[in-house]
Structures are given as C-alpha cells and as structure tokens.
Structure 1
Amino acid sequence: MSRQLDYHTIREIFDRFHAAEPEPKGELDHTNLYTLLVAVALSAQATDVGVNKATRALFEIADTPQKMLDLGIDGLTEHIKTIGLFRQKAKNVIRLSEILVAEYGGEVPNSRAALNSLPGVGRKTANVVLNMWWRYPAQAVDTHIFRVANRTGIAPGKDVVAVERALEDNIPVDYLQHAHHWMILHGRYICKARKPMCPTCPIRDLCPYKDKTL
C-alpha cells in the first residue's frame, strides 16, 4: 500500500486519463439493462472476453427476464458452460429473472439495495450497473481497481469497501463518473498484477509505488 496522494496529484492523474480517453467504456457486451446486469453477474471470476463470447448467442434469444425463464436453466447452462462457476451462475440468473418478473414487473430496479437483494448480485455488480446504465458515479472495486488504488495512493484501503469510500472521497467530482473505467483499464493493460508496465505508464512520475519495473 502506497502513501495517500494529495488532491493536486490525484487531479493530475485523472487529467491524464481523461486526455488519453475522454469517454472510457466498459468492455462487457450487452443490448439493454437486463443483459448488462446478467453480463456483469457472469463476469465474476471470469474475463470480459470469455463472457462476451458466451453471451453473444445467448442475448440474441434471451434479452429479457421472461425470455431467460423460457430458455430455462438447461438452455442457459449450455450457453455459459465455458465460464467459470457456470452452474451456480446459471442458477442465480434464473432465480434473479424470476424475482424481476414477480416483484419488479420484469424491469431491473435502480437502487443499490434492490440490486444487492438479487441472487448473484453483490455490491460490485450493483455499482457497475448503476454506473454504466444510470451514469451514477458509483465506484465498483474489482481486483484491478483495488490494486491500482493502493499502488498509486489514489485511494489506499485494506478492503474493497474502504477503497470504494476513499475513491468517492478523494477523486475530484468531475471525474467520478468515469473513474471506475479509467482505473479498470489502467489495471488491466498497464498496472498489471505481476509485471506492471511502469516504463510506459502515463502516470509513472506521479505514482509512489516502490516496486516499479524498469
């Protein structure tokens, strides 16, 4: 864990992220709010590339909760069997689809508490959906963001909730909307877990991480 950065350094970091990619996008394919929710739920302990490959044909035939129920658990399982933990995920998707039909008129609710109550939808998944669909500046802390937040000193924290709160507190409000995607992409492609690409990092001179690669 690096030292906490000051406001001006954090702003400079996000100035650079913004200059490089003004409108960062999530990499999970989806066609509507429901398919976004399903895709994010399926992405736990899986890659976005793998989820996109599995859901391409799935979302063509099951892009609403009722259509997913009509497909059934066996049909869903066949589509997502290449994704890690696919059996449990299939059960969760069918159950959350049942709840959406029975309790929400087939619509996806837009409160964190309601989303968290759905099977297989944790705080991170709820925050991704709130951020990507409703453009609420929620900070979904995955492994990439947790690593980047601690290495850079943008938002040091011992657990994901602490990092989430620190991100909300420390990042300038005009950058909060896209901070989630900037940091995920930075962690995925530059600030990698085992071999961070420090020589080509756009914020190398601002980052206090002690173990920079040469």
Structure 2
Amino acid sequence: MNSDKVVLCNATGTDSLGSAISAAQSARVRAALFLSSDLFRELSEGFVFLGMILSPQDAPTLMHYIQRSRTPKASIKFAVTVVDTKPAPLVATYSSRGPAASCSMVLKLGLFAPGSLILASWVENISVANVEQQPLFGKFNIISETSMWCPHASGMAALLKAVHPEWRPAAVRSAMMTTASAVDNTFAPIKDMSGGH
C-alpha cells in the first residue's frame, strides 16, 4: 500500500468500524478516514496511525471533493482546540441512563460529570497504546468512561465536605444535585449524543 495515500472506509454497518480500523492497521496505512454513524466510538478506539471518524452526513461533501479533484488532498491538524461547540455538553453513548426494565433495582443516576477524552495521570508500567506491536508508556493518557467522571464528582464532593465538614453524605449529594446545571449551552435540556433527546 502506498504510504502517501489516505484510505477512506465506509464503516456504517453494525460492528464494521472496529473491523475497518483493524483492517487499516493490518494494512499498515499511513492515514484513514472512517465514515461511521458511531462517531463517539473514537472514545474507546485507539488509532496507531493518523485517523478520523466522520459522520455519514459528511460523506456527500467528501465524495464530491474526491470525485471532482484530480489530486484530492487531506490533512489533519494537531493541537487544535475546538470551542463553542453546540449543543454541549451531551450525555455520552456509554453512560448509564438509569433503571432499565431488565434491571429495576439499579437506581437512576442523579449526576453526570465530564468523562470523555480526559487527560489523566497514568501508571507507568501499563502501556498507553501500542504502535506496530510496540507498547508505548507514559505518565499520562487520554481515557474515557466511568473511571474518568467519577474523580470529577468525587473531587467536588471532597471540596464541599472540606468547606462544610458537618454535612452528611446526603447533604453533599443534595448540594451537588441542586446546583448542577440541567441545561446545555443552548439553554435546552442536556441531550443524549446518540439519540438527540
């Protein structure tokens, strides 16, 4: 495979994104663009090459550019901070939504906290990634899921307890729940990133 080419993969079927990423990795591509309706799978997928997951809604524009250009080019900018994304925040696809019909004894969550793509300290004897079957080690990692939002919520609880040492756990929880924002930056109720409601 030509190392100067960017591969475009249509990975819109069930479980096809993981398969497409594995195939691209096995082919040792230099870079790949993946069309997938599971945009937030990137939270759990690691790329050992330059890669980006795009929405199927981006496909017509992308395909138009590729078909109309004699030599289409692609570039990925690093260290770009995207601000003023709307709506934000969104409830991550992997977050619990509360009691399900199949498991009614599990209580509904009262709080959500940041937990996606969090830069966190990391134990140095566990690799943060593998590149061409070689483990990479570091003091920090970007990870997601419950293990990342829990420290945010626990830290807030610890700060409240430090300021109000007489408060019982129920009072700390109540303070956090009654002062948390239930709306996003468009002043609408916070939405689910996968369902939009």
**Highest RCO, 1 vs 2 (Cα 8 Å, sep ≥ 6):** 1
TM-score (norm 2): 0.25
TM-score (norm 1): 0.24
Bigger proportion of residues as helix: 1
